[in-house]
A and B are shown apart, each in its own frame.
Chain A
Amino acid sequence: MKVALLGLGSVGQGIASMVLKKGLGITITGLADSKSGIIDAKGINIEEILVRKRGGNPAGDTSVSAMDVVQNADYDVLVEVTPTNISTGEPARTHITSALRKGRHVVTSNKGPIALHHRELLTLADTHHVSLRYEATVCGAIPIIHILEHGLLGNQVKALHGIMNGTCNFILTRMSEEGLSYEQALAEAREMGYAEADPSYDVKGIDPAIKLVILANAIWNLGVTLHEVEITGIDQITPEALRLAGEDDATIRLIAEAIPARQLLRVSPRILPRSHPLVVKGTLNAVTLETDMAGSLTFIGKGAGSIETASAIIGDILFIREQYDGCS
């Protein structure tokens, strides 16, 4: 199975190192980071690239761009793991559409193009008889898309509730357990590398709302966008509010919910009993599906991380290999 890898940040390096370590029958024949690219039909020396990258150098030849790799490398699957741009989805959208038009499968962790152009991209993949898979865009290591597409065949999914942002969950866990103020818990999250310098994308609830859009479209094909989600973040939560919830043996978590029968798409802080299955600690993610036959199902796992996200990407690549015999 020949793979072209675009993006060599934390997720890209995680994928490369797992391919190097585990083999898995995957050969990387094209590769690009933000400044350079390499094309080698016989397989790129990953070990060398990772050493170079960790030394702060461009991975390859600065005269080769990501688009050159998309157009000219010899690959079966394009793995698009460049940084997310939520207003345009670019440049990932162009990378993805170009590969699909060439009749190549695409696997991505990039939330931008999937949240913005889900239907258009899936239709394009269909037209060219290839797969577009995006397990890694939501809930990190939890194979929630696989579960929805294959594990629950024949079920009707009536509602979805989830904790889809590890940063917010970490902050609320620390506030609840240690009585920290919001500012203290946020500072701690930054120190641990869980929060960005500008944390608003997480704490204002935008990131979980994007994931909710992706899941709602994946399950119900609603064609919804971020503008249709009612969003309240966690930046107004006080330690006193958590203490008051605690008096009822409850706590507060940021919950993303979708209930199509009520046309409800919402991300908001909610009171949950401490014993509720969605009350997970730290940076964990959790998703509960309400279905007509299987009843209520809850999945818990790591929502981010280099190797955890690589797990979702590699799962998608190998799934495509199983589905399409033509790939080698």
Chain B
Amino acid sequence: MVQVSMKLEMKDTPGQLVRALKPISDTGGNIIAVIHQRESLTRAEVIDVQVVIELPEKRLEELVARMNEQGVTVQRIGTERLIHKKSLILIGHIMHTDLTDTVDHIDTTGYAEVSELELIMPAIAEPSSARMMIKATNAEAMNKALEILRQVARKKDILVIESLEENG
């Protein structure tokens, strides 16, 4: 699955928005957000709509074709490949156990990466604390990435604190 944001242009006629959005579910996608800005009317009888959707990467072309058939012009497409995010806290000797190596274990997977890292080192020889954001292509990839992190952390005697919500 990829997350896609699209800017659409369509005729301002009754039912047109519903017709424009129908191909999304037809191609196995989920709508995350629809932003419909009526006041930004530029030309008479034409409206701009922004949608954020999630769909199988391979079906993106098909979706655009189907939308075109409905009389919708796709003006812009932006995709984000790594849509699953998870925030963790690490405690231990994070720097001195080769932080680059720890991060590389995730980044070299091809399906996940460390996207944010905030590190606090209170004093020399004291354990440091870090907040780490991991992004992954999907839930399964996230679980695999987390298992890699847990194993690396165990070897380096680093405590990994995971969130409760996403594990529930």
Residues of A within 8 A of B (CB): 159, 161, 232, 236-238, 240-241, 243-245, 247-248, 250, 252, 255, 257, 268-273, 276, 278, 290
Contact of A252 among B92, B161, B167 (CB under 8 A): B161
A2 CB, nearest partner CB in chain B, Å: 46
Decide if A252 touches B165 in the complex (CB within 8 Å).
no
Is B44 an interface residue when CB atoms closer than 8 A count as contact?
Answer: no
Other than the given A257-B164, A278-B164, 11 more pairs (CB < 8 A) read A236-B127, A237-B91, A240-B128, A241-B129, A241-B161, A243-B120, A244-B130, A255-B164, A269-B161, A271-B162, A272-B163
Residues of B within 8 A of A (CB): 87-89, 91-92, 118, 120, 122, 127-131, 159, 161-165, 167-168
Q: How far is the CA of A151 from the CA of B9 in the complex (A)?
A: 56
Q: How far is the CA of A161 from the CA of B165 in the complex (A)?
A: 11
Taking CB atoms, residues of chain B closer than 8 Å to A276 are 164-165
Decide if B127 touches A238 in the complex (CB within 8 Å).
yes
Decide if A161 touches B168 in the complex (CB within 8 Å).
yes
Most interface-central of B122, B128, B130, B131 (chain A CB within 10 A): B131
Decide if B131 touches A244 in the complex (CB within 8 Å).
yes
Question: How many A-B contacts at CB < 8 Å in the complex?
Answer: 65
Contact of A271 among B87, B92, B118, B159 (CB under 8 A): B87
B118 CB, nearest partner CB in chain A, Å: 6
Decide if A161 touches B129 in the complex (CB within 8 Å).
no
Q: How far is the CA of A265 from the CA of B129 in the complex (A)?
A: 26
Taking CB atoms, residues of chain B closer than 8 Å to A252 are 89, 161
Q: How far is the CA of A252 from the CA of B120 in the complex (A)?
A: 17
Most interface-central of A232, A268, A290 (chain B CB within 10 A): A268
Q: How far is the CA of A257 from the CA of B164 in the complex (A)?
A: 10
Taking CB atoms, residues of chain A closer than 8 Å to B118 are 244, 247
Q: How far is the CA of A67 from the CA of B163 in the complex (A)?
A: 48
Which residue of chain A has its CB nearest to the CB of B127?
A238
Taking CB atoms, residues of chain B closer than 8 Å to A159 are 168
A161 CB, nearest partner CB in chain B, Å: 7
Q: How far is the CA of A252 from the CA of B159 in the complex (A)?
A: 13
Q: How far is the CA of A269 from the CA of B164 in the complex (A)?
A: 9
B49 CB, nearest partner CB in chain A, Å: 32
Decide if B164 touches A270 in the complex (CB within 8 Å).
yes
Decide if A244 touches B168 in the complex (CB within 8 Å).
no
Q: How far is the CA of A241 from the CA of B122 in the complex (A)?
A: 11
Q: A244-B129, A244-B131, A252-B89 are in contact. Are A271 and B122 (CB under 8 A)?
A: no
Taking CB atoms, residues of chain A closer than 8 Å to B164 are 161, 255, 257, 270-272, 276, 278
Taking CB atoms, residues of chain B closer than 8 Å to A268 are 161-162
Q: How far is the CA of A255 from the CA of B162 in the complex (A)?
A: 11
Taking CB atoms, residues of chain B closer than 8 Å to A269 are 159, 161
Taking CB atoms, residues of chain B closer than 8 Å to A290 are 168
Q: How far is the CA of A130 from the CA of B159 in the complex (A)?
A: 47
29 contacts across the A-B interface (CB closer than 8 A):
A159-B168, A161-B164, A236-B92, A238-B122, A238-B129, A240-B122, A241-B129, A243-B120, A243-B129, A244-B89, A244-B118, A245-B131, A247-B118, A247-B131, A252-B89, A252-B161, A257-B164, A268-B162, A269-B161, A270-B162, A270-B167, A271-B87, A271-B162, A271-B163, A272-B164, A272-B165, A273-B165, A276-B165, A290-B168
